[in-house]
Amino acid sequence: MIRWFQTLADKIRHAFGSSGEEVSDVTPFIRRKSGAELLRRKRLKVALVAAIIGVLSAAIELPLPAEDLYRAARAQLRVRPAPQDIAVITIDDKTLNSFERHLPTRHHDSRVIDRLVAAGVTKIVFDRAHADPETPASDARFAQTLARHRGKVWLGMAPARQHGFQQIDEIVPQPEFRKVASLAAMIGQATPFGLSLILPTAVEYRGNQQPSLSAVLAGYQGPALRYRPDYAFNPGTVSSYSYVDVLEGKMPISDLRGKKVIIGNTFFESSDYYIMPLNYNGRIAGVYFHVLGAHTLKRGTPIDLLWVPTMIIVGVAVVVQALNRRRSSKPLWTAVIALLAASFILDEFTINIDIMSGLLAVAVAAFGFQRINRKYFASDVDAMTTSAISSDRPSAERDVYALKIANLAELSEDWSDREIGDFVNTLIAYVKGPGEVGDVAFERDLLVWLAPRMETVELERHADGLALMLKTAISHDWQSSNGSPALGIDTNHDLPVSLRIKKAMQAADEAAARGVRFIINDAAHLEARNQRLELIRVLEKGLRDRDIGVAYQPKIDLASGRIVGAETLIRWQPNGRDFINPQELVLKDSSQEP
């Protein structure tokens, strides 16, 4: 996994270049060839951040409570009756009431053991340690009973262990009991918030491996490991009998023939209760967890793969999404669905995978990708915005094009969002064609792209042919004769690309307004445009200063020589100087008429 992240980091560094790498002011697109490359780099950064957050959250078990709840929810979907080969003898409130709220003594335990063995019980397991001495007589009798049924009785124990900053001493049966009875570990560890319980199959005690209660009940012979009981077994279906009823023969003792039994506390005041989410109001006695653990072990050796498979799947999905040229989030959704389904299926084979850290990584990646999409993709169609192809540096090798469909709003008035997207994608396909056009951006009602630089004459022929081709395509493919494509092309190669994009868009708007097929926004056009803007400014001043007057030109009948009418003419004489030639006020460029 570390090697995988190192490889991913190397790819990120390669995508961004080394820290000392300089980019030429005149050819920035040699290094960043397209908007797709920009998006790929930004998405790879998001992928790396998401992967790091996922791994760190898994390492510190941050999403463990959510993991436990989802594991419990999966168990509820697989819920089934517990097998009936293990029964619980409950030291319940009924038992304590019969003993005047005292726990059974070892005299009682001896009698219960005798009755259970006589009934044909194969194993008797105590979820109690019998660590404290009682009276010499009761201890002696209990030891004799254990010796008489050697090999059939296991007493609970707990080795010394560290719990946080607290050292917990061992809890083991009295020495005379250990000589004639087997030991079984009765410990378990609750996860944070107590939403899950982890049991061992064996513990180390004085240099020897002692099996756990669940391992004894299951007859487990596999490797020592820690595992979670399968909560799909319904604890309400476990065969349970009150201790006092067994002691006094008030239940059909033959019901226990051939079974294994575990004896444990279930009375209300007992501290041996744990949370079982989504079941039994959330709390059941600890003895039932040992039974659920035994049924889990009987199905096979539990395998806990932790979060590693999840992060591999998520890592692949996030990288695929990062390298995807489109804004579709299908790889991420596929990974999420695969993880949710895989964890459910693997539960049936006692294989556990933790998926919440992976889902957290997916959420982080999805958030990052969404922010990138909002900035670099148009909202209505699956195309990039001009931000994706923009640059603060000039590009001497490329011209900037902007295509405007003058009456797009009228064309798309009755279209759905999908039809508008199809229309724009069709135009993009025509624009790219067989040439060297890279990414095509869409903003408002304009398409913008960069293409290799051309000489002026060649550029005019290319622009004219492209505009005619697009008009024909709109008429043929979309059955509309109203589509009027207008091109704006900027050739001011010394300006930053971002500024040239704006100027190309302005030129396209101007071409559409004037009804011409294209306008090349070169130095000459800029000079003429600036002159016209200055003329308009002066004209506005002339209107305010009343420098504009009216003159009359007579109409004469040549036959009679009489004046038969007059034309009214406007004359402008700024600041008392020469009159302005009316031709200078005509803004239409006849050389670019359709």
Domain boundaries, the chain: 2-63+306-376, 77-304, 394-521, 541-592
Strand 86-91 to 226-227 pairing: unpaired
Strands 161-163 and 189-190: unpaired
Q: What is the pLDDT of residue 526?
A: 65
Please determine, for residue 29, whether its predicted confidence score (pLDDT) is greater than 60.
no
User: Mean per-residue pLDDT for 447-471?
Assistant: 87
Residue 525 has pLDDT above 80, yes or no: no
Query: What is the pLDDT at residue 576?
Result: 64
Most confident of 30-34, 261-265, 427-431: 261-265
CATH match for 394-521 among 3.10.20.30, 3.40.605.10, 2.60.40.10, 3.30.70.270? 3.30.70.270
pLDDT digits (tens, 9 = 90+) for 367-422: 999 888 888 877 666 677 888 888 888 888 889 999 987 666 666 666 666 777 77
Question: In this structure, is the dihedral angle defined by the CA atoms of residues 21, 25, 29 and 35, taken in order, positive or negative?
Answer: positive
pLDDT (average), residues 567-584: 71
Predicted confidence (pLDDT) per residue in 279-301, tens digit: 766 789 999 999 999 999 999 99
| Neighbouring C-alpha atoms within 13 Å toward the C-beta of 184 | 29
Question: What CA–CA distance (Å, rounded) separates 314 from 352?
Answer: 17
Nearest Cα residue to 259 out of 436, 123, 450: 123
Q: Are strands 226-227 and 189-190 parallel, antiparallel or unpaired?
A: unpaired
In this structure, what DSSP letter does residue 583 have?
G
d(CA 219, CA 213): 10
Strands 197-200 and 166-168 come out as unpaired
pLDDT at 591: 39
> Which residue did the predictor score with more confidence, 72 or 533?
72
The Cα–Cα gap between 65 and 354 comes to: 11
Whether the CB-CB separation of 280 and 231 falls below 8 Å is answered with: no
Structure tokens at 472: 């024909």
Q: In percent, how much of the chain has pLDDT > 90?
A: 49
pLDDT attached to residue 20? 36
Per DSSP, the chain holds a count of helices (H) and strands (E) of 20, 26
CA 64: distance to chain centroid? 17
pLDDT of 19 reads: 37
Instruction: Provide the β-strand partners of residue 153.
Output: 124
The average confidence (pLDDT) of the chain is 84
Q: What are phi and psi of 265, to 5 degrees?
A: -80, 135
Residue 185 near residue 157 (C-beta atoms within 8 A): yes
**Cα–Cα distance measured from residue 474 to residue 481, given in angstroms and rounded to the nearest whole number:** 7
For residue 502, the model assigns a pLDDT of 92
Question: Taking the model in full, what pTM does it have?
Answer: 0.72
Which tokens is 95 given? 């038992």
Query: Rounded CA gap, 532 and 545, in Å?
Result: 19
Q: Answer yes or no: is pLDDT of 12 > 50.
A: no
The conformation of residue 119, written as its DSSP 8-state character, comes to T
Backbone angles phi, psi at 318, to 5 degrees: -70, -40
In this predicted structure, what is the pLDDT of residue 390? 83
- Above 60 in pLDDT, residue 268? yes
Q: What is the mean pLDDT of the segment spanning 445-467?
A: 88
C-alpha distance across the termini of the chain, in Å: 63
Environment class of 126 (CB within 10 Å of its CB; exposed 0-12, middle 13-18, buried 19+): buried
Q: Is 572 helix (H, G, I), strand (E, B) or coil?
A: strand
The residue whose two tokens read 């009924």 is: 94
Model pLDDT, residue 410: 62
Query: Cα-flanking dihedrals φ and ψ of residue 198, to 5°?
Result: -110, 130
**Two structure tokens written together for 225:** 């490991």
User: With contact defined as beta carbons under 8 Å apart, do 506 and 448 qualify?
Assistant: no
Q: In this structure, are residues 397 and 353 in contact, taking their beta carbons and an 8 Å threshold?
A: no
Residue-level pLDDT at 382: 64
Alpha carbons within 13 A on the beta-carbon side of 518: 24
Give pLDDT tens digits for 80-100.
Answer: 999 999 999 999 999 999 998
Q: Compute the Cα dihedral for 559, 561, 564, 565 and give only its sign.
A: positive
CA 121/CA 254 separation, integer angstroms: 9
Element (H, E) at 357: helix 356-376
Q: What is the pLDDT of residues 306-356, one digit of tens each?
A: 999 999 999 999 999 888 877 778 899 999 999 999 999 999 999 999 999
Contact predicate 266/284, CB 8 Å: no
The per-residue pLDDT for 121 is 96
DSSP bridge pairs for 565: 555
Determine which of 88-92, 118-122, 233-237, 513-517 has the lowest per-residue pLDDT on average: 513-517
pLDDT higher than threshold 90 for residue 16: no
